[in-house]
Amino acid sequence: MCIAIPGKLIKKEEDKGIVDLGGITKEISLAFIPQAVENDWILIHTGFGLEIISETEAQNTIEILQEAYHSDPIQK
């Protein structure tokens, strides 16, 4: 039940936003992440944005793991 999915914020109006979930759009509440701006990736659960997903952290983690586990850079 704690599943949350990423969506891209395509429109923001006060504490509400429209997110793109791979082609489907949905209105969500941005009450917990008022700092979100359009084009941010948002973690969404039951109609609420829980957090802005850090693209930098996502990329850094992969790079650290590639180094730690001796994997070649992932192309895709």
Per CB under 8 A, residues contacting another protein are: 1-4, 6, 8, 29, 31-34, 41, 43, 45-48, 50-51, 53-55, 57-58, 60-62, 65-66, 69-72, 74, 76
Could you tell me whether strands 48-52 and 41-45 are parallel, antiparallel, or unpaired per DSSP bridges?
antiparallel
> What token pair was written down for 70?
């001796």
Q: Which is nearer to another protein, 11 or 31 (CB)?
A: 31
CB 10 within 8 A of CB 20: yes
Tell the smallest beta-carbon distance from residue 71 to another protein (Å). 5
CB 25 within 8 A of CB 44: no
Tell the smallest beta-carbon distance from residue 17 to another protein (Å). 13
Tell the smallest beta-carbon distance from residue 65 to another protein (Å). 6
Distance of CA 46 to the CA centre of its chain: 15
